């Protein structure tokens, strides 16, 4: 079976946890243990988020800009590439530590084209960076020209998140998978790029949603299952209330009639629905620790066209 597993940025770094290298490696090791549990004879492609990490690098870049006035901060596409390499390196290393030596693993920086006229550029929704209380978030937003939005009980910076259109390295990823290589790619939704009329690629100031990019990747690789692994065990109705209830198996049409937060569960639900509608294959949203049970159909919220939903 060909699986695309999308690891959430907040699953790799727990909410409110300090962004240290040790914390990130410990969380990645836990994620990799779950991935290895379904490796077996399956073909695996692993994508991952980068919201907390790219936000931290953006803060560091802005601080450097404050010191050196004639130096512009690094743009988000470059910072995204840095986090792809950083997180991909640790994922690959931990995979190699747990897999048999004959199982090959490769990490691939992945450019993803977006439409420069995407309306998302005028409506930032993608969370990046650490959490703040409201007063701190407002102060930082005023100083840095940020957009901010509530994330649960806290606030975070939000940036444009345009729809992924083309995965530039798709042919390379497909060749590697067909040769039995576990591929770590499309980190943070891929490096956001635009292509000019003459074919020239250039970066753009945005962060692509990892789940939407993973759905596109899974569709174009003809994956049998898309697994969206996050820090909750599924999709809930009436989330945050005493009436909350996890959905077990659900048709995408039913999910489309529900409302979910644009910066968190919303893109996951959209990605699962898009993949299922376009391919007829199932997608599952669930907890990182439950990947084996998700693949076997015993955990998570399974989005399916089955009439049993």
9 is catalytic: yes
From the candidates 210, 234, 286, 290, give the one annotated as an active-site residue: 210
From the candidates 268, 286, 290, 300, give the one annotated as an active-site residue: 268
10 is catalytic: yes
Give the residue among 269, 46, 57, 89 at the shortest CA–CA distance from 159: 57
From the candidates 49, 55, 80, 126, give the one annotated as an active-site residue: 126
Rg (CA), the chain: 19
Question: Phi, psi at residue 281, to the nearest 5°?
Answer: -95, 160
- What is the distance between the alpha carbons of residues 223 and 279, in angstroms, rounded to a whole number? 9
Work out the number of other CB atoms within 10 angstroms of the CB of residue 284: 25
- What is the distance between the alpha carbons of residues 14 and 4, in angstroms, rounded to a whole number? 22
Beta strand segments in the chain, E:
2-7, 43-48, 105-108, 111-114, 126-132, 147-151, 154-159, 164-167, 182-185, 191-195, 201-203, 225-230, 236-237, 245-246, 249-250, 282-287, 301-303
180 is catalytic: no
Task: Quote the tokens at residue 19.
Answer: 């962004």
From the candidates 9, 49, 88, 300, give the one annotated as an active-site residue: 9
Task: Quote the tokens at residue 17.
Answer: 């946890």
240 is catalytic: no
Give the residue among 204, 200, 178 at the shortest CA–CA distance from 190: 204
In this structure, the strands spanning 154-159 and 164-167 are unpaired
- What is the distance between the alpha carbons of residues 61 and 204, in angstroms, rounded to a whole number? 16
165 is catalytic: no
Q: What residues act catalytically? A: 9-10, 126, 210, 268
């Amino acid at each position: 079976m060909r699986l695309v597993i999308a690891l959430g940025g907040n699953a790799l770094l727990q909410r409110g946890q300090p962004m240290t290298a040790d914390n990130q490696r410990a969380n990645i090791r836990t994620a990799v243990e779950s991935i290895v549990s379904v490796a077996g004879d399956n073909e695996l492609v692993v994508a991952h988020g980068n919201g907390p990490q790219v936000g931290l690098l953006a803060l560091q870049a802005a601080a450097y800009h404050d010191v050196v006035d004639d130096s512009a901060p690094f743009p988000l596409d470059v910072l995204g590439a840095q986090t792809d390499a950083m997180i991909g390196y640790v994922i690959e290393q931990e995979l190699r530590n747990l897999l048999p030596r004959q199982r090959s693993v490769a990490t691939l920086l992945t450019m993803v084209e977006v439409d420069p006229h995407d309306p998302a550029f005028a409506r930032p929704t993608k969370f990046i960076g650490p959490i703040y209380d409201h007063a701190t978030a407002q102060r930082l937003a005023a100083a840095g020209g940020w957009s901010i939005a509530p994330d649960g009980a806290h606030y975070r910076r939000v940036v444009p998140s345009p729809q992924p259109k083309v995965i530039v390295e798709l042919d390379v990823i497909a060749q590697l998978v067909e040769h039995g290589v576990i591929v770590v790619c499309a980190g943070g939704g891929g490096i956001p790029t635009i292509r000019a009329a003459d074919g020239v690629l250039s970066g753009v100031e945005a962060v692509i949603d990892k789940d939407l990019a993973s759905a596109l990747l899974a569709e174009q690789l003809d994956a049998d299952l898309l697994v969206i692994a996050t820090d909750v065990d599924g999709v809930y109705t009436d989330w945050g209330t005493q009436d909350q209830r996890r959905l077990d198996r659900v048709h995408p049409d039913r999910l489309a009639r529900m409302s979910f937060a644009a910066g968190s569960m919303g893109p996951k639900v959209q990605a699962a629905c898009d993949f299922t509608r376009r391919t007829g294959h199932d997608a599952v949203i669930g907890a990182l620790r439950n990947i084996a049970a998700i693949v076997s159909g015993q955990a998570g919220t399974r989005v399916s066209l089955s009439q049993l939903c």
